[in-house]
Chains A and B, each alone.
Chain A
Amino acid sequence: MELKAIYECVLTGERDQIEGVIQRALSAGCRPADIINNALIRGMDEVGRKMKEGDMFVPEVLMAANTMKIGLQAVKPLMEGEETEAPGKIAIGTVSGDLHDIGKNLVVMMLEGAGFKVIDLGVDVSKDRFLQVIEEEKPDLIGLSALLTTTMKTMGETVQAIGGKVKTMIGGAPVTEDFADEIGASGYAPDAVTAVDLAKSLIF
């Protein structure tokens, strides 16, 4: 009952309501882990499904993601000692020489919405910066975006430099599955929604 209300809240993006609804669930005795796994994350899974079916629009999805984030923040402090699925950590950036970031930003938002911890490195990210982040942050996955023929070349070099250190996923309008194979990236996704599925499959 209470879990259902939280799930609904995420689905409709009621970010002003979510904390109240979670408080009620906690008072009614719901376990924090249940709230996260069976209400918040399940809500976002449904949002992702609806988006793919074309039943939900991007701003609605982002509002839902925001709602889930607020919900997570409310429950997390109560989680000490309890087991939760560790969310993956992803560092993502647009490669060196490329300033296109609209698509990359959407991927960041969708990944965050799905519960990943995302480090957004911005645009014009050099090979060395990627390597440094891998060293310092130990991400589970690196995401690279490129929209130019010239920077796809740079993308190839960057993926090569990362080598086997960590898995890589790539995207951007002119990027293709074949290109991903060619440069040895672990995966390619054509859009931000598919990027979430890809990240899940690469990390878990």
Chain B
Amino acid sequence: MWNRCSRSNESDHVSVQCKVLSDGQCARLYNAVLEVLERTGCEIFCPEAVELLKKAGCWTDGLRVRIPSHLVERAIGAAPSRVVLADRNGKRRLFLEGNNTYFGPGPTNPYFFDLQTGERRKVLKSDVYDVARLVEVLPNMDFAMSLACISDCTSGLADVHEVHAMLQNTTKPIVTWGYNAANMATIISMCETVAGSPEALQKNPFVVVYAEPTTPLRHSKEAVEILLYMSEKGLPQLYTPGVQGCATAPASMAGVLVVAAADNLAGLVINQLKREGAPYIAGGVTTNMDMKTMIHCYGSSPEFSLMHAALTDFLHYLQLPTWSTAGCADSKILDEQTAIEYTFSLHSAALSGANLVHDSGFLETGLSGSLEALVMADEIIGMSRNIVKGVRIDEESLAVDIIDKVGPGGNFLTEEHTFKNFKKEFWIPRDINRDIYRQWSDKGKTTYGDRLRARAKQMLQESVPKKLSDDVLQKLQVLVDEAEAAKV
């Protein structure tokens, strides 16, 4: 199911958006980032990438690479300013351009809340089936992620099995992670099989791959090899530093942004050197470490949302498609705190106009996932989108003729204008409750959490996966089996 207004800004001038950084601030930030890359540089643990960078004119000293500013500028110029993602059938769906905002779940949580028992337990492959089936029917989930680092498979193959599970249960675009380039090759082969050919996938990609630098200023062999591989394939790549103010970045929001952008743009330089014009989605997770508990803060930090919005401004300024984070919580269970964390982060992300926003359904700083929380995130996004879409001002909506017709003391309930517009103009809740007290108590005095659990169960029951052909299914199984065989 697709929300008819999943594009947040149907027309730019009416959309409600926020800007955290002015263009002047972006320019200063950019200069600081260029200075860090040129002066301090970074460590890159992949010899092929170091060689590429050296040839292009970087100063190298072993693993240490200093990147002259013109190379960064060239890479930004070379990368496409927009990336379009298709669904599993090749229909172009998500336009990562301008301020269009699309939402989806998060990756790699080790734990999961069992929808039937409520118990927090290790996450399983069957949970990924459920996540994908739920994403398929949730109107405001625009792409799938596994919401898992599954435990019930051969060690080191969770990434492969998760894509195997997602491909069979949703047609929405998939964003996924990987341990290394070898697993990535299996994952991409699976997607090419579904698309029909490598070229079909390249023309209408429905998969985005996610790798991470080791902030600050370090790029692991595994991550860079994925970058190079995806670049060579000409498929969309996401490179997302996880930056914690006070720990892996300075104790200032600007400092966090500098480190995040420096790590992200170093990835872009490598990616573009390998193949100019390769689709690249920029961004990162920008947060702070809590100085009492030492946790990596997710939704409970207002600066988390603010810095993500600022990074989005900066990347818009560079005209790169953007990746952001929201719908996630530090709370351990689905409770009042979670609702606050989800709402602030999701609404901020929507206001910022980030293109791909991940991590809906996360609890406990990304250590656990929950289906009912995903359903809640979906409803919050629905509310948020109806704010971001803004107020339509035109002849029909101003409705002066109708006001004149109804006149003083009348009502508009029976008007044709009302009949035509009420659904379009005003948001209709799904599980947010507007019953009068008596109705609510007659229906069992449920809490929002109760209703979300019931809804998740009902939606799962009703979501029937659109089956892949037997031939494709068999080929996918062969690819998984080969990856398994290579492990032993």
Residues of A within 8 A of B (CB): 51, 54, 57-59, 99, 102-103, 106, 148-150, 153, 173-174, 191-192
Contact = CB atoms under 8 A, between A and B. Distances in A.
Nearest to A174: B110
Contact of B246 (A54, A59, A99): A59
Contact of A149 (B149, B244, B292): B149
A192 B293 CA distance: 9
B367 A174 contact: yes
A150 B367 contact: no
Contacts of A58: 246, 289, 291-292, 294
Interface stretch (B77-85, B150-158, B308-316): B150-158
B158 A149 contact: yes
A31 to B, nearest CB: 36
B155 A149 contact: yes
A59 B158 contact: no
Contacts, number: 38
B218 to A, nearest CB: 8
A148 B179 CA distance: 11
A54 B220 CA distance: 36
Contacts of B246: 58-59
B472 to A, nearest CB: 29
Interface of B: 110, 149, 151, 155-156, 158, 179, 214, 220, 244, 246-248, 251, 289, 291-294, 296, 367
Contacts of A106: 294
Contacts of B289: 58, 102
A148 B150 CA distance: 11
Given A102-B248, A149-B110, A149-B151, A54 B158 contact: no
A192 B294 contact: yes
A27 to B, nearest CB: 37
A54 B292 contact: yes
Contact of B247 (A51, A54, A102, A174): A102
A117 to B, nearest CB: 23
A51 B291 CA distance: 10
B155 A153 contact: yes
A173 B179 contact: no
- Most chain B C-beta atoms within 10 Å of own C-beta, residue among A103, A106, A149, A173: A149
Contacts of B251: 59
Contacts of A149: 110, 149, 151, 155, 158
Contacts of B220: 99
- Most chain B C-beta atoms within 10 Å of own C-beta, residue among A54, A103, A148: A148
B214 A150 contact: no
Given A59-B251, A102-B289, A174-B367, 14 more contacts: A51-B292, A54-B292, A57-B291, A58-B289, A58-B292, A59-B246, A102-B244, A102-B248, A148-B149, A149-B155, A149-B158, A150-B156, A150-B158, A174-B110
B43 to A, nearest CB: 12
B221 to A, nearest CB: 10
A192 B291 CA distance: 12
Contacts of B151: 149
